[in-house]
Structures are given as C-alpha cells and as structure tokens.
Amino acid sequence: MIDYIIVGAGLAGISFCERALLHEKSFVVFNNDSQNSSKIAGGLYNPVILKRFSEVWQAKEQLELMTDFYSNLSSRIPNKFDFKVPILRKFFSIEEQNNWFAASDKVALAPFLSTSLCFNEYEGIDSPFGYGEVLQTGFVDTASLLSKYHDFLLSRQLLLNETFDYDALIVEEDRVLYKNLEAKHIVFAEGFGLHANPFFNELPLDGTKGELFVIKAPDLKLDVIVNTSVFILPLGNDLFKVGATYNWKDKTDLPTEEGKKVLIDRIKEIVSCEFEIIEHYAGVRPTVRDRRPLVGTHSEYKRVHVLNGLGTRGVMLGPAMAKALYDNIENCILLDKEIDIKRFTNKRKGKS
C-alpha cells in the first residue's frame, strides 16, 4: 500500500508531491496534460494586488514558504526555477504616483512597496512619471519546472501519463483502490479539470481564461518586469512574455482574435517600439468566486481530498496550500476556514 495517489501534475500537484517527499511518504501521480494553465502561466509572484493596491491574502507567509519550497526543489532537481526580479509599476500620471505613496503608508503594504520612485530609463518605453517598485518579487519558470519535475517523477517511476478513470476508484473506510493500486489517500489536484470529477464537481470552481504572448522586440531593453494593465517579462534574446487577459465566459484553451487584440492594444500603451508576436497561448485558470483556494476532504469519503483553486497565483499559493492540506490529513491540523471547502459544502447541507 502506498500513502497517496495524486491526480494532476500542475503546480498544485507537484507542490503536494514535494510535501510528501519531504516526509518520506510514498505516492504515484496521474497526469494527462489536459490542463495547461500552470505550464503557460506567467509565473510571477507579487505580494501586492496592484490594480487595487491591496495586500495579497497571507502574502508574508506564502512568500516565506515558497522561498524554501523552490530552494529545496532546485536542490532535488539541479536547476534554477526561481528568479528574483523587481516588478515596476509604470505610472501614467501624478495621481497614480500619489496613490502609490498612500498605499505604501498602509501597515500591511509597507514591507512590499518602495517609497522611492524609480526614474530609470528603459529603451523602448516612455515613462515620464516613473515607476513604483514592488519588493520581494520575481517569477518562476513554470514551463521548465513542470517539464523537469515530470522527468524526475518518471525517472522514479512515480508518474503515470494517463487519464484518471473516476469510475474505477473504489473508496473504503481505511483505503482507496484504483485498478492495481492501493493507497491510504487520494488527492485531486486537477485544476479546471475538476469539473469532470464526480467527487468535487459541485464546488464553485469558475475558471478564468487567460491569454499570453511571447513577443520579440529587439529595441526593447528591459531587465525588470513592468506591470500595468499587462505584465512584460524579459526572457532573454530580445524575447518577452506578455500577459494576461481575463475572460470569465470562454472556458476553452484556444487563443482568440479578441484576446490578441486586447494584448496588442495594451502592449502599445506601454512600449514605444515595434514588436513581433512569436507565440500566442491560452489556458483556463482554476479560479473561485471568493478568490480563495479549494482545499479539504470530501464530506462523505474521508480518504478523498482536493487541492485546487490556486487561480492566478499558483506559484505563491501552491506550496502553502499543499502544506495546509498535508498537515490536515497527517496531523489533524485544522484548515483555515477561508480555504476549507466546508465553506461551500456546509452551506449546501444547511449548516452554518
């Protein structure tokens, strides 16, 4: 008998894998590559919601956990995934500068917002009003991370590249059975694929489609991430990742002309040089209406668990939410009420 079956090998799934490995738990992972939001994600981590100048929920705790997480992961798989890069918020007016200073005076935001305006000149961008620098930021190369982590799992014979058959799962009081596998627990970390899961498909996972570009802009000289209505992330060799759009109706992972137009218009608001679109990606982020993850145990089956709803901040949320779920399963540590799926399942049962 193994300790865990893990369904899904995106950011949520591999975060739980790492937690299991840390505690020497045995597991096997199912992955069918049907969801690509983790793979194409911008991978930015940023403790501030710049649109509203508010702190990301539990930002300090998440940053501490993710720093250790990616450091340990790089030791296990010798490769750099976490890149500490400043994020600069471009200002378009004096009013935006003033809003920045007002936000930086807030106790929760003070550790994350520089009080000195940045007037660095970057070739290809006109910014007469300067920038504000967000502190403790960077990005994770999610495509490289997932590719190399899947290779690592395959080398250990821990990854099965196949679609999980829910009908073949048998849940008993003290174990779960799946074909020739016997495990103490099963964790579903399928992203937007949760909608096909009969155990958890009633959870309100909305899904938000995002589209991104990789552009080539030889005249854009940028060694930081610039963030306004979109982010521009330097990749090297005159290439930049740009994103992202938000579409709450379209649930496909196909690039659209509408998304393309939005991105082009927003890029032109920021840069003053020519650019060429090299790649156009799309994916559906696993978002929840209350902007909190979906973590917990099935109300009827105590061996069946879910780790989902990481939304747009998977690189920050993944390690913290995996730890929370693991500690809940193994050590009976209560989940934060804001992430526990009981906030939805109890309502359906008429519980307060």
86-136+208-285 architecture in CATH? 2-Layer Sandwich (3.30)
What are the C-alpha distances in Å from 149 to residues 99, 109, 172, 218, 249?
Answer: 41, 34, 31, 32, 32
Adjacent-strand bridge partners of 285: 208
**Domain range annotation of the chain:** 2-43+143-205+289-348, 86-136+208-285
Specify the pTM: 0.94
Residues 236/197, Cβ–Cβ less than 8 Å: no
Adjacent-strand bridge partners of 215: 240, 277
Give the other-Cβ count within 10 Å of 106's Cβ.
13
CA distance 317 to 272: 35
DSSP string, 300-338: S-TTEEEEE--TT-HHHHHHHHHHHHHHHHHH-PPPPTT
Residue 76: HSE in the Cβ half-sphere, 13 Å Cα cutoff: 21
What are the C-alpha distances in Å from 30 to residues 18, 163, 172, 222, 284?
Answer: 15, 7, 20, 39, 20
| Residue of 89, 103, 177, 93 whose CA lies nearest to 131 | 89
Place of tokens 């709803």: 309
What pLDDT score was predicted for residue 40? 83
Q: What is the pLDDT along the chain (352 residues), one digit of tens a residue?
A: 999 999 999 999 999 999 999 999 999 999 987 777 887 888 999 999 988 889 999 999 999 999 999 999 999 999 999 999 999 999 999 999 999 999 999 999 999 999 999 999 999 999 999 999 999 999 999 999 999 999 999 999 999 999 999 999 999 999 999 999 999 999 999 999 999 999 999 999 999 999 999 999 999 999 999 999 999 999 999 999 999 999 999 999 999 999 999 999 999 999 999 999 999 999 999 999 999 999 999 999 999 999 999 998 999 999 999 999 999 999 999 999 999 999 998 765 555 4
CA distance 341 to 329: 14
CA distance 47 to 167: 41
| Residue of 290, 286, 321, 350 whose CA lies nearest to 14 | 321
Q: Residue 69 in 3-state DSSP?
A: helix
One-letter amino acid at 42 equals G
Residues 282/255, Cβ–Cβ less than 8 Å: yes
CATH code for the structural domain at 2-43+143-205+289-348: 3.50.50.60
What pLDDT score was predicted for residue 34? 74
What pLDDT score was predicted for residue 41? 85
CA distance 95 to 297: 47
